[in-house]
Chains A and B, each alone.
Chain A
Amino acid sequence: AQSVAQPEDQVNVAEGNPLTVKCTYSVSGNPYLFWYVQYPNRGLQFLLKYITGDNLVKGSYGFEAEFNKSQTSFHLKKPSALVSDSALYFCVVDRMDTGRRALTFGSGTRLQVQP
């Protein structure tokens, strides 16, 4: 079965410290990988994506993600967290399934950055 796992419901980090939000996936084929962020009472916003090429992808707001094919992981990282980064983060796998595009969302990880 195709799946996306975000093993942590919540991640707490102090402002200024590095942060990591974990994501592993189990899908067939060559998936495209995305991270989206959802601020309170808002829709999802695109952060970054990996399609091919360099395993380290840089995105919006200073975030980056590292694609690791052998570990089937796509962890989201930021060197120095801000209080304004506090939000809900979704890892998304975008693949083709019998000719149709199919997105599989992780369950989300709430990031709480303390001042």
Chain B
Amino acid sequence: ETGVTQTPRHLVMGMTNKKSLKCEQHLGHNAMYWYKQSAKKPLELMFVYSLEERVENNSVPSRFSPECPNSSHLFLHLHTLQPEDSALYLCASSQGVDRNYGYTFGSGTRLTVV
């Protein structure tokens, strides 16, 4: 384990369902990120939280809703998703948003929308 834990590992949901992805880190990092990894496409940055405040939202549809209640936890709330949202969702953390700090990634949640 890398120190960044994501649950669940796999999720199958219908287009009318509401579900949440969870990410947890106890590395003492204060920045957390959500990435989307689709087949044969580069990783796409979705959201950035620094010190529990959202600092970046990369034009992500409103059916994805992030929440960062504290510096150790990050959630991604999902509702009325589309089949094209099926992907691997990766959470990452870093000690700061300064680029001297590398990222630590979780193992991801494999999401399938049916």
- Please name all residues of chain B whose beta carbon is closer than 8 Å to the beta carbon of A43 when the two chains form the complex: 2, 4, 6, 90, 92, 105-108
Q: Which 6 pairs from chain A and chain B are nearest by CB?
A: A43-B105, A105-B43, A44-B105, A105-B42, A43-B107, A94-B99
A58–B4 Cα gap in the complex (Å)?
A: 25
Most chain-A CB neighbours within 10 Å: which of B6, B40, B55, B99? B99
Q: Which of A61-69, A73-81, A96-104 contacts B (4 or more CB under 8 A)?
A: A96-104
Most chain-B CB neighbours within 10 Å: which of A43, A94, A106? A43
Q: How many A-B residue pairs have CB under 8 A?
A: 52
Interface: B53 (CB within 8 A)? no
A51–B101 Cα gap in the complex (Å)?
A: 11
Interface of B is mostly: loop
A111–B56 Cα gap in the complex (Å)?
A: 33
- Please name all residues of chain A whose beta carbon is closer than 8 Å to the beta carbon of B40 when the two chains form the complex: 9, 107
Is A107 within 8 A of B41, CB to CB? Answer: yes
Interface: B45 (CB within 8 A)? yes
B59 CB, nearest partner CB in chain A, Å: 14
- A46 contacts which of B55, B98, B102 (Cβ < 8 Å)? B102
Output the nearest chain B residue to A94 by Cβ-Cβ distance.
B99
Is A103 within 8 A of B106, CB to CB? Answer: no
Interface: B103 (CB within 8 A)? yes
Knowing A42-B107, A43-B106, the reply to whether A90 touches B98 (Cβ < 8 A) is no
- Please name all residues of chain A whose beta carbon is closer than 8 Å to the beta carbon of B105 when the two chains form the complex: 36, 43-45
Interface: B87 (CB within 8 A)? no
Interface: A22 (CB within 8 A)? no
B62 CB, nearest partner CB in chain A, Å: 22
Is B90 within 8 A of A44, CB to CB? Answer: yes
A105–B2 Cα gap in the complex (Å)?
A: 20
Is B106 within 8 A of A49, CB to CB? Answer: no
Is B2 within 8 A of A90, CB to CB? Answer: no
A42–B55 Cα gap in the complex (Å)?
A: 27
Interface: B97 (CB within 8 A)? yes
B33 CB, nearest partner CB in chain A, Å: 9
- B107 contacts which of A41, A95, A106 (Cβ < 8 Å)? A41
